[in-house]
Amino acid sequence: MLRSLFVFGGIVSLQYLLLEGLTVHSIHTQHFTLKNKALLPVVQGGMGVGVSAHRLAGSVAQLGGLGTISSVDLRRHHADLMQRCAQDSSKATINECNLIALDREIKAAKALSQGRGAIAVNIMKAVEAYPEYVRQACESGADAIVVGAGLPLDLPDLAADYPDVALIPILSDARGIQLVLRKWQRKNRLPDAIVIESPKFAAGHLGLADLGNMDNDNYQFEVALQQTTAVFEKMDLAPIPLIVAGGIHRPEQVQQLLAAGASAVQLGSAFAVTEEGDAHPNFKQVLVQAEPDDIVTFMSVAGLPARAVRTPWLDSYLHKESKLQQVATPRDCSEGFDCLAFCGLRDGVAKSGQFCIDRQLGYALVGDIARGLFFRGSEVLPFGKRIAPVKELMDYLLGVLPLRPQAI
């Protein structure tokens, strides 16, 4: 039996082929357009510290997708830069080394992609060197800048000299999208795409201030897509590609979301545990071995909720969190370079987390299970506990592989 579903806008044409009791999905027009580049509708999200660097992003782009490098503290992937920082631990040197590392990673990813797909750089609005990261990413040849963890109202100004670089804000609901659109319109610029991230399922820092709002209907993908489309119509704007992120792990979800009006879907944790993921093998094992009860949501030092695996360090921290918050007091940055513009530990803000996030994420990157902070989404991973190559993951999500691959 063969039947087709055609979605308005030419984004996707789906076919379902039932053969000998096995359902195989094929997405024939499997592209969305970003700055005149035709890209596969599965996007790899940015993950720091160092989890998504050149190898992962370049591998995704080589297949025709949008691969994303996380800009935060990339010097950790470069022994010479770490040695330089060990000899001179000043803030200026660390920041300079991180910009050098970002340049290297972008160029390496572009070389690996062989001219296919696109390379984005994810930059947290919350990081202290946010403007410098944006400018460096543009200068180094990134195809897109993706900004979350805050409203990037100034992004068009920072990237004004690079009109060919796509600008992509990460937001959680139509209200935030409308605010960004109105502010950017005054600068004669609009987003080239928008990531709508669900705080209920996503990993890492979440786009909401109050955990009590986690189940707000406005964060549901279908609602957010409908309301955002209404915003476009109200503002008399041509549709902007919408990329939905958080909790996606099955091809049926991809198909349903594309049919509901999304241009693409974005995944993070599923890509972090691929063979090409830039983190240590232990990092990947922590993520794939985590059971649902192991995944917790807590308050980060950035003043935002975050989601991670309850490993020994995080479990110990959460048990003493309230005591640490009671004695919070301003102090110097323990790592010496003030990675965040606002840091609950450095600034002595009791309601925020009280730990050094750069140090703990750095431990995770190198596979230190006892001391690392391991960000992970709340939902199951596409291949269960199996580590698979990027191509297999992309093929599965785009419907080339059977619905239920065997988890080993």
Most confident of 62-66, 87-91, 124-128: 62-66
Cβ-based neighbours of 68, under 8 Å, separated by 6 or more: 43, 44, 45, 46, 52, 57, 60, 119, 120, 121, 122, 146
> Can you list the positions of beta strands (E) in 230-385?
242-245, 264-267, 295-299, 305-309
Nearest to 244, CA basis, from 168, 184, 343: 168
Global pTM reads 0.86
Assign residue 151 a region (left: φ > 0; alpha: ψ between -120 and 50; beta: otherwise).
beta
pLDDT value at 404 more than 70: no
Least confident residue range of 103-112, 203-212, 375-384: 203-212
Q: Is residue 396 part of a domain?
A: no
Q: Would you state the pLDDT for residue 215?
A: 63
Residue 408 placed within a domain:
no
200/346 same-domain check? no
Residues 257 and 321 in one domain: no
Same domain, 272 and 350: no
pLDDT digits (tens, 9 = 90+) for 159-207: 999 999 999 999 988 899 999 999 999 999 999 999 998 876 667 667 6
In-domain check, residue 329: yes
* Domain contains 379: no
**In this structure, are 250 and 296 located in the same domain?**
no
Indicate if 15 and 81 belong to the same structural domain.
Answer: no
Q: Report pLDDT for 351.
A: 85
Question: Which residues on adjacent β-strands are paired with residue 121?
Answer: 69, 145
Q: Please check whether residues 135 and 246 belong to one and the same domain.
A: yes
Instruction: Kindly state whether residues 88 and 220 are assigned to the same domain.
Output: yes
Q: Are residues 82 and 226 in the same domain?
A: yes
Task: Look at the chain and report how many structural domains it folds into.
Answer: 3
Range of the domain at 252: 31-278
Q: Are residues 242 and 332 in the same domain?
A: no
- Shared domain check, 214 and 80: yes
On whether residue 407 sits in a domain, the answer given is no
**One domain for residues 37 and 24:** no
Confirm whether 386 is domain-assigned. no
* Domain shared by 77 and 95, yes or no: yes
The string of DSSP letters for 340-401 reads BSS-HHHHT-TTS--S-HHHHHHHHHTT-TTT---B--SSPPTTTT----HHHHHHHHTT-S
- Asked if residue 135 has pLDDT above 70, the reply is yes
Q: What is the pLDDT of residue 300?
A: 87
